[in-house]
Structures are given as structure tokens and as C-alpha cells.
Structure 1
Amino acid sequence: MKKIAIFLPDLRAGGAEKVALLLSNEFVQKGCAVDVILCTAHGEFLSELDTRINVVDLKSPRLRNAFFPLLRYLKAERPDVLLALMWPLTLLAVTAFKFAKLPGRVVVSDHTTFSQAPLLKKKSTRIFFKLSLPMVYSFANARLAVSEGVANDLATLGNIKRSSITVLHNPVSSDTMRFTKEQNEESWQGFSGKKIVAVGALKWEKDYPTLLKAFALLLKKENAYLSIVGQGTLLSELEAIAEQLGIRKQVNFAGFSTMPSAWMASADLLVLSSSCEGFGNVIVESLDVGTAVVSTDCKSGPREILCDGKYGKLVPVGDVDALAQAMVESLNEQHDMDALKLRAAKFSVDKIAKQYLEVFR
């Protein structure tokens, strides 16, 4: 494989962006030349790219303005593979690749359960999605989804054959770095009770209000502290909810972290309270450091990762009481750390990158 180009909007902190970062770095390690093509070259993960990766800035904040810059890049650089992440960027990539008349392969990868995505709540967008997907995706050399749930949802909503979609799970990189004792005490403010962490952007899909309400119930039975690692527009709203529940002093809104696995390694429990997920990277990251998991059983991702609850507890979406009870039970159970780590190893970046390279070939 001579050159792989990976196309996405930017490298802000997000699940698909983290996948692009890990795959790009791993492809370079495996001897490939890699270009990361961004509509705008900014984001927290930009500085974490391997220095051998060429970053291409299309300087197109608006998606509709990115087509011709992308087409010029493709004609000039002629990559062997163009991997596009996230609809509707995938539509742009396939169209530009075909216009460039390149002999290589264009691959699209979707990370969202579209039937539940805010993006498709608008009727006109939903209609455009249903019309564009079968027409444009038929020209892609491969169609990928990050979970069985995403693949099934994509096939149903997009009216394309399920057999034409390949499931490649998201990769997770084992982070050998850990908090020092001093960092641990500082991050948890010297707290000696049960430590619970949630990781993800502060947006509605993560359903942090349900987590905060469940945590308030848990505090009636346990001495615990909750750290929410992530940033987003809902910060002030979530702080207000914590204040109303009388738990503000037991909740730390920690902001964005480049090392979320370090938080997980120093916690007793990771909780995912999402109403919808494409995959659920943080679950695998938590298993990788041997930390127990409680997750909502949303439409795709968590159940697949946790093997129907074998490696962590699953609760109904939005069920405050069930989430609180599962958290209490998990905090008071013994967990087989080695088994959790072995499960996470199934999603290692080395293994997943090899699967991508097979698709590219």
C-alpha cells in the first residue's frame, strides 16, 4: 500500500476523530504513507498525529465548499485509497474520487446510528439521506460500519443491502501512561471513597442528566465522587442540575483530557449513560485498564462490546433507578481485571488496522 488518504472535517475531540488519529498513526507504523485531509486543520488531536503524516488543509469550513479543493488534491496526489469518515462527508469523497478517475479504492465508514441522530431529525435532511445514500454509496469500493447496530440501521434507513456493509469495530490504543500518585490525588481531590468516571462530550446524546440523577441516588448508599471528563455546550446546564440535586460538591466537571484512560485506571467504575452510540470507544478503553463498566443498553455498541452483559452491566436507556442500582452493585462486586483486559485486546489498534488494510487491498 503506497498512500492512504483519510478525509474528515477536522480533528476535534470525538469518537470518529480519535479513530482517524489511531488508524493514521498505525498505518504509518506499518510502512504506509498517510495524508490526513481536513476541511479545516484544527482540533485537539491534531498535535497527536505522527510527524510523518502529511496534513492537508482544504480551508473549507463549509462542507459544500470542500469539493473542488478535495478534487484538486486527488488529481495531484493520486492516493491509492481514500477513506472517508462520517456522512455527509462520505458522499463528497465518493463523488470527488470518481470525478478524479483514480484507479484506487474509495472507502466510506459510518460511526452513527442515524435513526437516532440529531442530524436527521430535520425532515429535509432525512429525505436527502435516504435518497443520496443508495445512489452514491453504490460507487464506493467498500462500505464500513463500526458496529452491527450501525450496519443494520444504515441498511434499513439508507435502503442499501446489509450484505454490502462490512463491520470493522473501532480500534483502541493501550495507553501505558498512568497518573502518578500525586496526579491521582489532585485529580480526585484527595477523595478516598468510591471513584466513578464518565468520559465523553457534554452533549445530549450522552444523557448526563440521567447519570447525575442516578448518582444522587447512589450517594444515599455509597460515599462516592463522580468525575465527568469532557467538554461541550451543556456544561452550565449540567452544573445547574448537579446544584439542584444537591450533589455539586461530589461532581467534578473535569473538561477535556488527552488521556482519558488514565482517569479510568484511577477510578473504580466507568459509567456510560448515552441514549445512543455508534460504538462506545470509552467502554473498550475502560476494559483495557481493567476498570469495571456500567452502560446503558442503547441501540448499538455497548451490548456488542460487553458481550450481552458478560463484561459489564447493561441497563435500559434513561432509567435512573436501574442505573443507580447497577452502579451500586458494580462498586461492591469483585471484577476479573484480566478478563476485562483480554476482551479489550480484541479491539487493539494493531488488529483493527490490519483489518482495514485488508479492506483497502
Structure 2
Amino acid sequence: MKICVVVARFSLTGVPLTQIRFARALAARGHDVDLVFGHVGADTLPTHIGAAKLVVLGPSTARGMLLPFCRYLRRARPNIVFSSQDNLNGFVLLAAILTRSRAQISGSSRVNPFFTYSNRLLTRKWVFKQAMRAVMWRADALTCVSDGMVEEYRALFRQPPHVTVYNLVDDAPSRLRIHEPVDHPWFVDKTCPIVVSAGTLSSRKGFADLIAAFARLIADGRDLRLVIFGEGASRADLERQIRDLGLEARVSLPGQITNPLRYFARADVFAMTSYFEGLGNVLIEAMMCGCSLVSTDCPSGPAEILGFGRFGSVVPVGDVAALAKAIAGQIDHPTDPAVLAEGVRRFGEDAVIDRHFALLGLAGRERVVA
């Protein structure tokens, strides 16, 4: 079966990396898979794509991808197109309509819809909502990555068809990467518990709250270290906060790395402090690595990932005192690895792919590629 997995831009972040896993897993099941990106920077080429074939259209925006994707549909004639993120989903559906493509289209939403659509008349987000409603009929499946997001769509659209299909996070190639060697000195020569986090250094990720909570733990006499992987516009502000709190010797911001899993597996607690997330892939990755977990109860997915407290600690958004207490609790009483293994099963290859194909009325496997 010819399958297209399409993403707007490649970066070392959640959606592109998740879709790479998805394309790789589909190819391993024997399908002919094109992994289509609108834009890929010369210095950040996708890796670990398995038997999937990389196709780069060129434009850096979803809107700019419309005509190139129309040409792709006419040339490649895929049986199924898996798209991700609402802006791109809309243009993919429009391209299928314009080309009269017979491909089945499955569009996945990855962010809170209130950041994309609005019920306020004549606003930009309201106009996009009307445009999406006009092409939504062409979709064979529309999915969200959490139950919370499905409920949000029901608040914005009248009887939306959206259903939950989790991201594919846990697969065999990713688990192999857990065992790659580390080079950060705090992990190479580990002398005390380490708290980790990862994501774009931006205000919505709440890393300032995490650093403030960590400062409380240090003030209480705990011997700990904090490592936050990622890069972004808030770096200077976070570095200033670290200096002001006198934590330069205990907090590290190593930047963006290609394989954080190896560090998650050697850390004691992973803390997600976001103000909003679509799902929170990195939280699932840390769970897969056997790391005890703490997360804010932000919309839409983190509390759902943690089974509302079964697989880790959930704290109110922005509550620094509760965050510090939860991190201390997970250090003192780590979550049983068997419980974490149970929690991550929902995000495994078979569960996710079988769910996608069931929604399309198809079998998910052709043959296994050796």
C-alpha cells in the first residue's frame, strides 16, 4: 500500500519526530511509505527514517505547500495520506479536493484548538474555522492526540468527527537509542539525583517555574542537579534567573540534542512544567525510559498521559511549591518501573497503527520487512 506521511517543517521537536517514528513503523510493516516534508533545513536533515523515502517539497509554510502537494498527489497517487497539525490538514484536504485524489485522508490535530480557531466573528481564527469546516467533509478520519483535545473540539465545532488516537512514541528503534553513551559530565560521573526536562526554551514551557521549584529544593538542603535540554528565545532569561539564584553549579542548559532518551534513562525525575500541550510526547519518552514523572495539569494531554496520578505526580500549572513537593516525593519514592511500563503501552507501535487503520477500515500490515 502506498502511504504518504506529510509534515510542514522538519525540526528536532515533537510533531516531526513523532511522524518520523510513524512513517518508519509503517514502512517496517511492508508499506511503500513517503515521508513528505514541506521544508528541511540543510543543517538538520531527518535521520532514523528506516525504509521510508524522504520527499522534500520546498515551501516552509503549509499554505505554500498547496500546489507542490497537488503535484505530489498526481504523481505519487498514494492510497492513504496521514497529515498532522490543523493548518497543514486543511491544505492537504483542499489539495485532495482540487486534484480529485482518491487517497484516504487522515488528519491529526496536535495542539489545543483554541490556539487555532475561534468563535469570535470575523477574526482570523474564525475565518480559518470556516475554511476548515468547508473542507472537513473530505477527511476519512480526523483525530486528536488526547481525549482532552477531543472535548475542546466539541466546544468549538458542532458535532465534530474527531476521535482520539495517541502519538506513536514507543518503538524498537527508539528503545535502542536509550542505551547510547552519554557525554554530559553530570551523567557520566553521577554523584547525586538529577532532575531533567526538555523542550523549546519558551515561556509556555514553564521552565522558570521549574528552576524556581528546584531552588526551593536546594534551599531545603537537598543535593540535586537540574538539566534542561532544548533551545529557544527564553535562554537569556533563564540563564539570568539561574545566576540570580546562585544555581550556576547545579543547573545546566546544554541546548538541543538529537537523542535525549539516553539522559532520561539515567535521570531520577523528569519534570514537565508546561502551560499547555497537545499531548506531551517528551513525557511519554521519559516514561518509556523508566524515569519517574512530574507534570503540570495543563491542557490537554499530560494528566491523561499520567493516568491522572497513577503513573506520576500531577500538579497545578504555575504552582511552584506543589512542583517542588512533587519532585521531592518522586526522588524519595520513585514510581515502580512495572507501573511505568503499563502506562507507556498505549503509545506503542501496534496500538497506535492498528487504531489508525481501524478508523480507515483497513488492515494495518502487509508484510514484515526483514
**Which residue identity does 2:101 align to in structure 1?**
L
Inter-partner Cα distance in structure 2 for 1:289 and 1:107 = 30
2:159 matched to which residue of 1?
161
What's the CA shift for 1:5?
0.7
Deviates more, 1:182-191 or 1:271-280: 182-191
1:272 matched to which residue of 2?
272
**Which residue identity does 1:281 align to in structure 2?**
N
Q: Which runs of 5+ in 1 are unaligned?
A: none
What's the CA shift for 1:292?
0.6
**Which residue identity does 1:170 align to in structure 2?**
N
**Which residue identity does 1:228 align to in structure 2?**
I
Kept in 1: contact 2:6–2:84 (CA 8 A): yes
Listed one character per residue, the Cα deviations across residues 303-346 of structure 1 (whole Å, up to 9, x for unaligned) are 11111101110000011111111111111114311111122122
1:285 matched to which residue of 2?
285
1:38-49 correspondence runs (5 A):
38-42=37-41, 44=44, 46-49=46-49
Inter-partner Cα distance in structure 1 for 2:62 and 2:177 = 37
1:141 matched to which residue of 2?
140
Change (3 A) 1:286 1:206: same
**Which residue identity does 2:137 align to in structure 1?**
S
2:319 matched to which residue of 1?
319
Inter-partner Cα distance in structure 1 for 2:103 and 2:20 = 22
What's the CA shift for 1:276?
0.4
Kept in 2: contact 1:297–1:303 (CA 8 A): yes
RMSD: 2.2
Kept in 1: contact 2:63–2:88 (CA 8 A): no
1:172 matched to which residue of 2?
169
Listed one character per residue, the Cα deviations across residues 211-254 of structure 1 (whole Å, up to 9, x for unaligned) are 11111111112111000011222212211111122212211112
Inter-partner Cα distance in structure 1 for 2:81 and 2:182 = 41
Change (3 A) 1:205 1:141: same
Kept in 1: contact 2:307–2:343 (CA 8 A): no
1:37 matched to which residue of 2?
36
Kept in 1: contact 2:73–2:99 (CA 8 A): yes
Kept in 2: contact 1:74–1:100 (CA 8 A): yes
Inter-partner Cα distance in structure 2 for 1:206 and 1:236 = 15
**Which residue identity does 2:146 align to in structure 1?**
S
**Which residue identity does 1:34 align to in structure 2?**
V
Kept in 2: contact 1:41–1:56 (CA 8 A): no
Change (3 A) 1:118 1:199: farther
Inter-partner Cα distance in structure 2 for 1:269 and 1:36 = 34
What's the CA shift for 1:45?
6.3
Kept in 1: contact 2:39–2:56 (CA 8 A): yes
1:227 matched to which residue of 2?
227
Deviates more, 1:338-347 or 1:73-82: 338-347
Inter-partner Cα distance in structure 2 for 1:205 and 1:135 = 31
User: TM (normalized to structure 1)?
Assistant: 0.92
Deviates more, 1:301-310 or 1:263-272: 301-310
1:86 matched to which residue of 2?
85
What's the CA shift for 1:190?
3.0
Inter-partner Cα distance in structure 2 for 1:160 and 1:242 = 47
Kept in 2: contact 1:26–1:350 (CA 8 A): no
Change (3 A) 1:179 1:140: closer
1:19 matched to which residue of 2?
18
What's the CA shift for 1:61?
2.2
Q: Which runs of 5+ in 2 are unaligned?
A: 363-370
Inter-partner Cα distance in structure 2 for 1:67 and 1:204 = 32
Q: Does 1:210 align with 2:190?
A: no
Inter-partner Cα distance in structure 2 for 1:118 and 1:215 = 33
Inter-partner Cα distance in structure 2 for 1:167 and 1:179 = 31
1:263 matched to which residue of 2?
263
User: TM (normalized to structure 2)?
Assistant: 0.90
Listed one character per residue, the Cα deviations across residues 79-126 of structure 1 (whole Å, up to 9, x for unaligned) are 0011111121111000001111122211111010132x3898x98332
Kept in 2: contact 1:111–1:146 (CA 8 A): yes
Change (3 A) 1:45 1:290: farther
1:308 matched to which residue of 2?
308
Inter-partner Cα distance in structure 2 for 1:315 and 1:212 = 15
Kept in 2: contact 1:3–1:34 (CA 8 A): yes
- The count of corresponding residues between Structure 1 and Structure 2 is 355
Kept in 2: contact 1:21–1:49 (CA 8 A): yes
1:341-360 correspondence runs (5 A):
341-360=341-360
1:76-115 correspondence runs (5 A):
76-115=75-114
Kept in 1: contact 2:24–2:49 (CA 8 A): yes
Inter-partner Cα distance in structure 2 for 1:236 and 1:119 = 32
Inter-partner Cα distance in structure 1 for 2:123 and 2:246 = 42
2:366 matched to which residue of 1?
none
Inter-partner Cα distance in structure 1 for 2:184 and 2:16 = 30
Inter-partner Cα distance in structure 2 for 1:179 and 1:78 = 39
**Which residue identity does 1:32 align to in structure 2?**
H
Deviates more, 1:252-261 or 1:272-281: 252-261
Inter-partner Cα distance in structure 1 for 2:65 and 2:246 = 48
**Which residue identity does 1:309 align to in structure 2?**
G
1:56 matched to which residue of 2?
55
Kept in 1: contact 2:117–2:129 (CA 8 A): no
